[in-house]
Structure formats: C-alpha cells, structure tokens
Structure 1
Amino acid sequence: MRYSIGVDLGTTSLAVAIGDDLGTRAAQLSPVLTEPSVAFCSADGTILTGQAALDAADGDGDETRLVRGFKRRLGDPTPIIVGGVGFAPEALMAAQLRDVVTQITELQGEAPAHVVLTCPAAWGPYRREQFAQIAELSGVAIDEIVTEPVATATSVSRERPLDDGAIVAVFDLGGRTFDATVLRMGAEGLEVLGSPEGVEHLGGDDFDDAVRGLLDQRVGGRISALDAAKPDEAATLAAIDEACTLAKEALSVREETVVRLPLDGADHPITIMRADLERAIRPAVGLAVAALLRTIHSAGIDADAVSTVILAGGSSRIPLVAEEVASIGRPVAATHHPKFTVALGAAERARTIAAQALAGDGEVAPVAAPTFTSSITVPTSAPTAPAAARGPWRPRIHRGYALVAGVAVAALIAGAIVVGAMLGRAGGLDAATPDANAQPQSSEQAGAEPSVPPTLTATAAPVPASAQDETEATVASPVFTGGSSTAGLDWFIQSADPSGAWGLTPLLDGEAIRPNLTLTQSDGGLRAQWTSGGPAQLYAQTLGEPLDLSEIADDDGALVFDVTINAGTAEHLEIATHCGYPCGGSVDMTSVVAGIGQGETVHVIIPVECFTASGLLPEAVDTPFLALGSGDVDMTFREIRWENLAGADPAAVRCGP
C-alpha cells in the first residue's frame, strides 16, 4: 500500500506518522515510538543519529562526540563541534531526516510517496530558509513544510471539527522549548493570528532539573558536589538524571513517587510528592502562560474569544500545566498522544497531497477523515514574530568580533558542504577532510546566506555636539523617552551562560540580569552594566507589526540618544537596528564612546545612512535600537528616538567601512 509520512524533528525527540488509505498513525521507530534527537560523530567521521547515536556513545566514552538540542541552534552562524568536526545545525537535522526515512522505508518495504516536515510558527524567514536547506542536504524530497501549531490543530480537528471562524490557541510545551500560537479557522483553512511566541529554554528538561534540585536538598547537596569530569561520578550523574526524568513522569499520574539515588555505592530511597514538584515548577509554567496571553493579545482579541486551548508536547501532560492554562478561563483540550500530535497533523497533510496526486485533476480523492489542505500550508507572508520568538533567542554575532564571526561563517558553510556531499551514503554520514587547495565558494554556491549584516565604523564629529546647534526634528519615532519605553516595544538582554549557550531575559519590573550584563530602568534612563567575560546585548523589539521609518530615512533622519559613561571603559560597543535579523545595519561606536569622560553625557547622532549602507530596510524595522558591548563599563542611555533632519546635523558621527 502506498503511504506518505509527516516528520516532526523535535528538539528532544523525533516523531514520524504514517498517512494512507486507512488514516494516520504513529510510526513504530522504537519501543517508545519516538527517536531521541541526538547525533554522534565517530572517530572515522561517520555520523549516527537517534538511538544508534546513543548506543555508539555508550561504547565510545568520548562525550564530545555526542550532541543534543541542535535544533535550537538553527540559524546560529557558529558551527556545532562534534568530535572535533564543525557542523551546521541543518546538516545534523538533515542526517536525522535521512536516517529516519531510511528506517521507515525498511519497515514499510518501500519509500514514502510524499513527505511533509514541520517547523515552529515562531521562526522568522531567516531560520525557515536555513531549515529549508535540510531537504537538499538530506537527499529526501520534501513536499511541504508546515508549522507545528497548525499541524497540531489539524490533527485535533479530525476528531473535533472546528466551525468556520472558530479561534483556538496551541500551547506546545516540549522537552526543551515552548511555543504559543493563536489560529482561526477560515474559508481557506487555519490561519495564524497575531505573533506566535516561543521560549527556547523552557520545557521538560527544566522540570527534570527541578526534581534534581529537590533531591539535592534532601541529600545535603551531595548531587551538586559530584564532578562530571570524573568518569565514575559522571556515570552517577547520568543515572540520577534518568531517575529525575522517570520521577517527573511518574508524578504526572501519581501523587508521590520514590526515587532511588545511587550515591556512595548504595541506593538511597527518597520520596517526592507531586506538590513538591508543582511548587518548584510553578514559576516556569507561569512564564509559559504569560507568553500565551501575550500571543492572544497580539492577535487583537481577548482570551474570551478563544474557544479552546490545545495542549501539545510531552511536558503538557503534567497536571499543573493544564491547571495553570485553564486559569485564563478558557476550555483546555489535551491531545491523546502529545508527542505525536504534530507528526500526525503533518501526515494528514501528506495524505491529502497523495490523494490530490492520485486524482490528477486537482480534486482531492476521498479519504477516511476530513483534511484541511490550505490549513497546513505555510503562508508566504507569515506574521512577524515578537522578540521572544525570533532572532533574539540566538546570539546575533556581529562583524565587530571579526575573528569569531568570520571563522563561524566559514565553518558553517564548510560543514554544510562537507555533510551535504556525504549524505545518502549507507551506514551514516561520513565527515570528509576539506581540500586545503580548494577555493572558497560564494554564498550562493555554498547554499548559505550571509550570517550577519556588515558593520560600519563610526568616528566622532569634527567638533563636540555641545558646540553645535541641534537640528529641530519635525517627525520622530520614540524608542525610550522620559524614563519609559514606547508602547508596542519590549526590551530584552542576551548573553551566553557559563556553558556557552546564548539565552535571553526580558526586562521585567525595571530589571533584567544575565551573565556579563545587567539592565535597569528608572526615570534616569536605561542603565547598562557590562562585565568582562564575553559580549552581551540589550535591545528593544516590536510586539507586532514592524516600524516604518522610511519617512524619517528619506528626510536626512538619524537615530539619536544621550549616553552617560558612569564608570569603566567599553572594550567594544556597537549600535544596531534590525528589520528581521539578519536584515539590518550595525555601527561600531567603540572609538566614539572611548572619547567620553567618566560622568560625562554626550548627545549621539547616528545618520540613517550608516544603517542603510550596511543593509537596513527602514520600512520594516522590528528592532529600532540594539547595543552590543563587552568589557567592564557602566553606561546609561536616555531619550532614544529616530528623528528626521538630524542626520544632517554637523554633530552627527561619520561612518565608513
């Protein structure tokens, strides 16, 4: 029997569903149906994925050869080093896809007729473009890429059909990520409303950590005292991590469970209550619910307009999650198989594509259940996602760090080429050694987009701003004035944690703290305190539609702000603005701020042409202000705004390559 498949390349697990004349069903990839999202690079360069990767890692002993969570790195120009070899995230995901299609083909006795992939709705165009490269790298023919929440709603609507005009929300809480999306059933199927929102470091792994924290308290910190660098203690930590996961899952169905900790050569039984876990994870679940409410608000509707909130993702099975989501006052619908719901919806779309192909004349042949062809199609003009859902969830590495960025881009392209050339060989992916004499390819040849916009370097005006008469603006777009942010903008800070993973923290209640950067808001302005240890950035981003600054740009406009150096010296400072990263422009302001004395305040004027010359599209600005810095420096930003005429001011900085 001919069949088609839907594939959900998740952050922690991979699921596949089969669609044929009998309907849709989860594919049996393993005893637990799903495959873990991991990759292993052997000493001979072979890349294995899924359970085969875990099995190989168990017998190898070199943890650097095993990598997890690479889906979150998609779009990051820094290559992922696996066993000493640099790979682009899309290359590792392509290996997953290649392997799982091979596995399904062996199980079914023939290759699938059609394949549909899924991706997060919160991804912007850049990450979707990177994701689309998976088809070429894997050698698998992909018929369509659909968004995960639409696939989820489509799967659920097969059992509970949605009325025309019905609005639903999808609350997808997985192993490592969270996504919220609002959808409406229309004449053309399901459409996304407002701005989907994603949190890439919120999920089941955090709940596992909460269990481990509870256990560590019970044993007086003996778990946290274990050293992962020591093989025997690393094995103990691995066993404890597995026990924490099992305990979390047990507490989803029971009020208490017993965890046996393997410490000091003996098992230590410890009882954990569901109430203990709920107290520990309630703040994290609250963040997800708050993101859901922001997504609903971005659609221009009240929560009352949502007919149902659909729970998806394995972590949504935790009872507290349903309770907290229900607190917004809307009915909650849990899927029967949360880990497979997305794949089932994609398989339904693949099944429809197969039926249309058989019909030949464009009509859909009869199938066992209703299908929603247009409801699955990703629109060409997808809604703009907010800061918490798009580029800011990965490091925006700028050319100011030329060595880091240059090596990263080169390695990413090389990794994609090497892996792409080896895909399709039996027995895994072989890592080839690049030809030392080969000429570098252009971005177009290599199939890679430039990772960052070019950066211009600013120099101070010939005379101080204080000695000039400021140009009076007639058109202005405020960003942060009078001690408060403009409505429609949210502020975030971003930096790498000690493990090297970049994360994001929103400015809430006037404060945001991350490694290397603290941002505080007051009537006196935005005070940014950088500390040595690596680059960090702060930025404002639109909640909904992008800003149109074309009128300001066309009339000698500029970004203007006041900056005070409270203490210290910046090793590096860039001011940037984006129009859907990597679209944007960046200006190196290091030499300009170096000339500002401690306690001195300077009025800074950066002409729009400094940003447009490096790639900014003024009509589609989603990040009107971004400051990327490093070093030990304390500075305050005030009266940030875009103004027309200001670019012609004699006090404006000069920009050049």
Structure 2
Amino acid sequence: MPAIGIDLGTTNSCVAVFRNGRVEIIANDRGHRITPSFVSFVDNERLVGEAAKLDATENHENTLYQIKRLIGRTYDDPTVQADMKLWGFTVINDDNKPKIPVVHSCGGNIFCPEQISAMVLEEMKNAAEAFLGETVTDAVITVPAYFNDSQRRATHDAGEIAGLNVIGMINEPTAAAVAYGLDREIKNQRDVLIVDLGGGTFDVTIVKIEGRKFYVRATGGDTHLGGEDFDNILVEYFVSEFKQQHGEDISDNKRALNRLRVACEAAKTNLSSSTQAKVRLEALQGGHDFCSSISRSKFENLNHNVFERVLDTVKNTLSDSGLKKENIDDVVLVGGSTRIPKIREMLGKYFDSIKIKRTINPDEAVAYGAAAYAFALGSDEDSALKEFALEDVIPLSIGIGRRGGTMSFAIPRNTKIPTKVCENRLTVVDNQKRVTFKIYEGERTLARDNHFLGKFTLSGIPPAPRRKGKIKVHLEINACGILHASAFEEITGNSSGITIARDKGGLSESEIKRMVQEAEKFRKKDQELKRRSTARNALEDYAYSVKKEVDHKNLTTPKRICIMSSVTEILEWLDINKKEPPEMAELEARKIELEQLVE
C-alpha cells in the first residue's frame, strides 16, 4: 500500500506519491494539480475544492476557508479575533475553542477546525486513490515550521478524522528542501536557504544538503503571515475607498466583504505580472457599483511593514544558524506569495552574490518533498532514495516555569528532533507533597511572556525538608514535533505526565472517535449522492437520446406518441427534482420502464 504526501495549505492543498523511482504530483478530478482549501455546504451537498471556492461569493456563510489559521488556536487568540472580522462565515466560542456553525441538509451543524481540515485531507486522499487505483491509508502531512505543539497535534487529529494513518509530519520548508535536493542530486555539500511564503504562513529554513541527506541548521518564521495578509490589507484599503466614494461602510456586510476579497486576490495576482490592476464590482452595497484601481507601487507601499517582517525573519534565521549570507549557496523560493515581485527584488538585493532559484514549482514543492519522506518512512526500497536521511529541528525553545516566574530552558530552539532530555528538580518548601509543572515554548526570560503549552501535577511526594525531595522531569519531542512531558519521583515511583496539546484544549480520544464516525457518515452520504447524481445524468442522457432518435425508428404513431409522452414526463420530473437527485431505486425504475417502452 503506497504512502502519500499531503501539503495541507491555508489557501491551496496538494498531494503527491513516490513510485517508480520518482515523485508524481496527483491531479484532482478537474485535472488540476492544486486544490483550493475550501469547503462549502449547499442544501444537501458538501463541496470541497474548486467547486466550494466558486460558491464562496453567493454562499458566504456556509463556505469555509483559511481554516489553517484557526487550527490549534484558542478563540481569544488576537489573530483569530482579527481574522474573524474579514471572513464571510461565523466563528463562535465554545469553551474558548473556535468553532464554525453552518447550515447543512436543512439543519444546523457546528464544526471544529480539525473537522473542516479533515474534509480537505479526505479530498486529497480520494484523489490519490483514484490515481493509484487502490486504497490509501498512510500519509505524511506537512506543517509550517513555526507551528506550535497545539497546532501540530490538531493537524495530526485532522488526519485521523479523515481516515488517514499519519505516519509522519514534516515541516513545509524542509519538505521543499527535499524536493530541491532530490531534483538536483546535489553531490557536494550546499547550504540552502528556503523561503516559504504561502497563503497563510511564512517559514525560513536553512538546510545543509549532502547528496540525499538533509540536515536542518535553523528555522524561523511566522504562523500568521502570508498571501492572505496582502489580501486583507487590500480589502481594508478598498473598504476605505468605497466609503469615500459612496459614504457607506461595508465592513459589517459579510457578503460584500467576500466579493471584495475575491476581487482583491485577483488584483494581487495581476500585480505580479502587471504594474496596474483594476477592481470592478457591480452593486457592492446599496446599489452602488465599485470601480477602482491600484498600482504595484501603491500595493508595495501598503504592505511595506509585511515585507520588512519577511526580511527580518530571514536575517534572524541566518543569525540563529551561525552562518553569514555569504555562506549561503542557494536561495530557493517556495509558496505562491513568493511570486510577488517585491519579495524577489528584496531577497535578490539582500543576497547580492546569489541568484535566486525559481527552478522548482512553488505550489508543488512541499507536497513533492512530503511524498519522498512518506516513501522513505515505509519499508519499501528504491535506488532513487537510497541513503535518504532527514534531520529536522524544533523552532522554539521548550522550558519549565520556575518559582519566581522565570522559565528554565530545557530544550533550546533549533535542537535536532526527535530528542529527549531529563532534568533533576528539587522540592522548594518543607514537606512538599505535590509539584505542578508548567510547560512553555518561547525565548523570553519570564514564563508569562512565552506561549503556555500546558501543565500537570505530580502528587504523593514523601515529606522531606526543602531541596531534599528529588524529582526527574522528562521532556520528549517525537519526529512529528509533538511534545510529551512527564515527571517521576524516585522513592515512591509515582509519575505523572501529559501529551501537551491533547490536554491543552485539544481533542480528546472520544471526540476524535465521534468525529471519525461523523466523517464516515458524510463520506457515505457523499458517495450515495454521487451515485444518485450519476444515475440521474444517465437517465437524462438516455431520455434525450431517445427523443433524438425516435423519429428515425420505424414505429407506429401511437407507439411514437407513447414514447415521447414518457420522455417528456421523465425530463419534467428530473427538472422538478434538480436540486436533489431522486432515490436510486426510482431513477433505475424509470430508466428500465423507458427502455422497455423503446424495445
């Protein structure tokens, strides 16, 4: 059974497989190699991909996108609060977990981000199965290098809900480096800097490549920086301009905002090849048409701060790696947003002695690397991946809160993974019976300034004077970058621990099981709807073919009238039931009846 690699993107997703000595990018059912990460609920139907994206303007409340910006985050996260204002759908607060209500099958459903991401993953799985002609279960899913532990666990859960066995997770820029290295068969050591700027996330990774061996030196990034931010800035700009033109504020009109967002995305894309782009929308609000334009220079000025953040991240990652820009052999651009001319100009100017590499497809490279890694994790062998080795690092330091509010750095950032560390701790008060350990990630001295991951308590410590009770604390990060923390008291043997994200607001095992069952119901319903749609189309095609050919048959007048009457009745019946295909049994019965009549 082949293992696939899936690039689960904020804006678009892609799937690939390694077979016959090479990676193959898999096209969806429309023949396109990338699929929009959109899910839409229409009447009794669920749409995923391009069909869902096309439905976004009219069905904005039930069309979900950019879900990667929600996954693994809390409702009160400032980035979630900011994004909510610009989305066409609604996000609600469920015990500080962001969830999305939609209307489906004449009823209401509330989904968590993991479930929506699972629907996109399942679409990738289905495309792979159609391409390979066999069932696919094992998969490697990519994540931004700067995803925290909660976001990684949530992505892993989404894969499980989609019916996938997630055999590994790989950082997106690392996957791109694998694609670049394998494509070129680099013989001598080269230090390659990957700039991965996609729809919603930004990563910079420096990788040492030797043949088919990949060693990550350092990584940096921002989980909330990408093409969607350029779109948001354009939306805000044109909202202000519409208000100046017509005196009306459309910021609370979600349908108008959704239409404007689509137009802004198109304008941004046009500015990559043209110096001017127009935005035209009829009856945007209050019957007012909106017509405006924006120049490339104005676009660059509006996004000046974003561009600065991109370059600052590149510089900081270089500093973390211990290398200078002169030590970098290649700079590789990945992600659709690296097509923006200012990004290329800015990086080209900074790395003045290096030609920026654009030789790999920025939309497909991450899935390419994930597929190669998925194959390497399996038991099969191929000469093309002989001696393949991958060594990644953690993006943020992991530490334990100390008394007084400081943080003890247990695992420094850019430590190679998988890794495991053990720290000895002493009790801090006389006769202390329990200790609570708070785990953080970040680089600040004070624990409160870092990202709180979770906590657990070790109880049953034997009474002893302060600093005499001894506890061992273990922190372990697996190859997927998921953290497990535990503590052990030597005398009693008592222990306690957590897998951080699972305890910190993540999905429980029972919730995942329930969502898997719900996904299976959706899957069966979608399959049944597809069968009914196919049967409906077959009946309609047959009715029209009979209508076309009846005059050429040697039939009596009553027979001809009877056949045409039946054809007309069937076509009218299908037209009445065009929103929802009739039941299979009824469709098949009508087709058999017409066939018998024609005989």
**Bin for the TM-score computed over the shorter chain:** 0.5 to 0.7
Q: Within 5 Å, give how 1:188-267 maps onto structure 2.
A: 189-194=213-218, 196-215=219-238, 221-222=244-245, 225-227=248-250, 229-230=252-253, 234-262=254-282
Structure 2 residue 73 is matched with structure 1 residue 73: no
Structure 1 residues 41 and 242: alpha-carbon distance in aligned structure 2, compared to 1, 3 A threshold: closer
Structure 1 residues 202 and 224: alpha-carbon distance in aligned structure 2, compared to 1, 3 A threshold: farther
Deviation per CA, 1:625-655: give whole Å up to 9, x if none. Answer: xxxxxxxxxxxxxxxxxxxxxxxxxxxxxxx
Deviation per CA, 1:184-238: give whole Å up to 9, x if none. Answer: 22587212223x22322221122223334554566563489343655xxx54433
Contact kept? 2:71, 2:154, Cα under 8 Å: yes
Contact kept? 2:193, 2:207, Cα under 8 Å: yes
2:198 to 174, 188, 198: 174
2:242, 2:41 → 1: CA distance? Answer: 37
Contact kept? 2:37, 2:49, Cα under 8 Å: yes
Structure 1 residues 286 and 335: alpha-carbon distance in aligned structure 2, compared to 1, 3 A threshold: farther
| Aligned residue number for residue 13 of structure 2 | 14
TM-score, normalization: structure 1? 0.54
Contact kept? 1:349, 1:372, Cα under 8 Å: no
Contact kept? 1:175, 1:204, Cα under 8 Å: yes
Deviation at 1:163, TM superposition (A): 4.4
Deviation per CA, 1:46-68: give whole Å up to 9, x if none. Answer: 76533354466667x471x3332
1:210, 1:56 → 2: CA distance? Answer: 23
2:155 to 131, 134, 139: 131
Contact kept? 1:71, 1:93, Cα under 8 Å: yes
| Aligned residue number for residue 466 of structure 1 | none
| Aligned residue number for residue 25 of structure 2 | 26
Deviation per CA, 1:266-300: give whole Å up to 9, x if none. Answer: 76554432222122223201101101211221122
Q: Which amino acid aligns with 2:25?
A: A
Q: Which amino acid aligns with 1:16?
A: V
1:582, 1:216 → 2: CA distance? Answer: 38
Deviation at 1:342, TM superposition (A): 0.4
| Aligned residue number for residue 101 of structure 2 | 82
Deviation at 1:344, TM superposition (A): 1.4
1:81, 1:217 → 2: CA distance? Answer: 28
Q: Which amino acid aligns with 1:15?
A: C
Structure 2 residue 453 is matched with structure 1 residue 582: yes
Q: Which amino acid aligns with 1:299?
A: S
Q: Which amino acid aligns with 2:388?
A: T
| Aligned residue number for residue 288 of structure 1 | 310
Partner SS for 2:118: helix
2:145 to 98, 102, 121: 121
Deviation at 1:315, TM superposition (A): 0.4
Structure 2 residue 383 is matched with structure 1 residue 366: yes
Deviation at 1:248, TM superposition (A): 1.0
Contact kept? 1:193, 1:383, Cα under 8 Å: no
| Aligned residue number for residue 385 of structure 1 | 396
Partner SS for 2:350: coil
2:277, 2:250 → 1: CA distance? Answer: 27
Count of residues in correspondence between the two structures: 415
| Aligned residue number for residue 297 of structure 1 | 319
Deviation at 1:147, TM superposition (A): 1.9
Q: Within 5 Å, give how 1:261-340 maps onto structure 2.
A: 261-262=281-282, 269-329=291-351, 330-340=354-364
Q: Which amino acid aligns with 1:582?
A: L
Deviation per CA, 1:230-251: give whole Å up to 9, x if none. Answer: 5xxx544333222211111111
Deviation at 1:335, TM superposition (A): 4.5
2:183, 2:196 → 1: CA distance? Answer: 19
Deviation at 1:252, TM superposition (A): 0.6
2:236, 2:412 → 1: CA distance? Answer: 36
1:221, 1:202 → 2: CA distance? Answer: 29
Deviation at 1:173, TM superposition (A): 0.8
Contact kept? 1:79, 1:89, Cα under 8 Å: yes
2:98, 2:278 → 1: CA distance? Answer: 41
Partner SS for 1:110: coil
Deviation per CA, 1:495-518: give whole Å up to 9, x if none. Answer: xxxxxxxxxxxxxxxxxxxxxxxx
Structure 1 residues 342 and 248: alpha-carbon distance in aligned structure 2, compared to 1, 3 A threshold: same
2:127 to 88, 103, 121: 103
| Aligned residue number for residue 461 of structure 1 | none
1:27, 1:89 → 2: CA distance? Answer: 25
Structure 1 residues 13 and 585: alpha-carbon distance in aligned structure 2, compared to 1, 3 A threshold: same
| Aligned residue number for residue 511 of structure 2 | none
Q: Within 5 Å, give how 1:347-496 maps onto structure 2.
A: 347-352=371-376, 357=380, 364-367=381-384, 373-375=388-390, 382-385=393-396
1:132, 1:223 → 2: CA distance? Answer: 47
2:451, 2:263 → 1: CA distance? Answer: 42
Structure 1 residues 124 and 191: alpha-carbon distance in aligned structure 2, compared to 1, 3 A threshold: farther
Deviation at 1:338, TM superposition (A): 1.0
1:544, 1:22 → 2: CA distance? Answer: 32
Contact kept? 1:24, 1:348, Cα under 8 Å: yes
Which ranges in structure 2 are unaligned for 5 or more consecutive residues? 75-96, 103-107, 431-445, 458-465, 477-599
1:129, 1:27 → 2: CA distance? Answer: 26
1:114, 1:583 → 2: CA distance? Answer: 30
Q: Which amino acid aligns with 2:23?
A: T
Contact kept? 1:335, 1:341, Cα under 8 Å: no
| Aligned residue number for residue 365 of structure 2 | 341
Deviation at 1:131, TM superposition (A): 2.7
2:395, 2:21 → 1: CA distance? Answer: 38
Which ranges in structure 1 are unaligned for 5 or more consecutive residues? 358-363, 392-452, 459-475, 480-487, 490-540, 558-574, 587-608, 621-657
Structure 1 residues 259 and 295: alpha-carbon distance in aligned structure 2, compared to 1, 3 A threshold: same
Deviation at 1:11, TM superposition (A): 1.3
2:3, 2:159 → 1: CA distance? Answer: 16
Q: Which amino acid aligns with 1:317?
A: R
Contact kept? 2:4, 2:371, Cα under 8 Å: yes
Structure 2 residue 176 is matched with structure 1 residue 157: no
Partner SS for 1:221: helix
Contact kept? 1:208, 1:248, Cα under 8 Å: yes
Structure 1 residues 372 and 153: alpha-carbon distance in aligned structure 2, compared to 1, 3 A threshold: farther
1:99, 1:12 → 2: CA distance? Answer: 15
Deviation at 1:181, TM superposition (A): 1.6
Contact kept? 1:578, 1:616, Cα under 8 Å: no
Aligned-residue sequence identity (percent) comes to 23
Deviation at 1:151, TM superposition (A): 1.0
Q: From the CA coordinates, give the structure whose radius of gyration is larger.
A: 2
1:62, 1:100 → 2: CA distance? Answer: 23
Write 1 or 2 for the structure with the bigger share of helix. 2
Deviation at 1:41, TM superposition (A): 5.3
Contact kept? 1:578, 1:584, Cα under 8 Å: no
Partner SS for 1:76: coil
| Aligned residue number for residue 410 of structure 1 | none
2:246, 2:360 → 1: CA distance? Answer: 36
2:232, 2:303 → 1: CA distance? Answer: 10
1:553, 1:285 → 2: CA distance? Answer: 47
1:544, 1:349 → 2: CA distance? Answer: 20
Deviation per CA, 1:93-117: give whole Å up to 9, x if none. Answer: 2222123212332354333485332
2:184, 2:343 → 1: CA distance? Answer: 22
Contact kept? 1:577, 1:584, Cα under 8 Å: no
Deviation per CA, 1:137-190: give whole Å up to 9, x if none. Answer: 222234432221111011112333334442222111111221112212258721
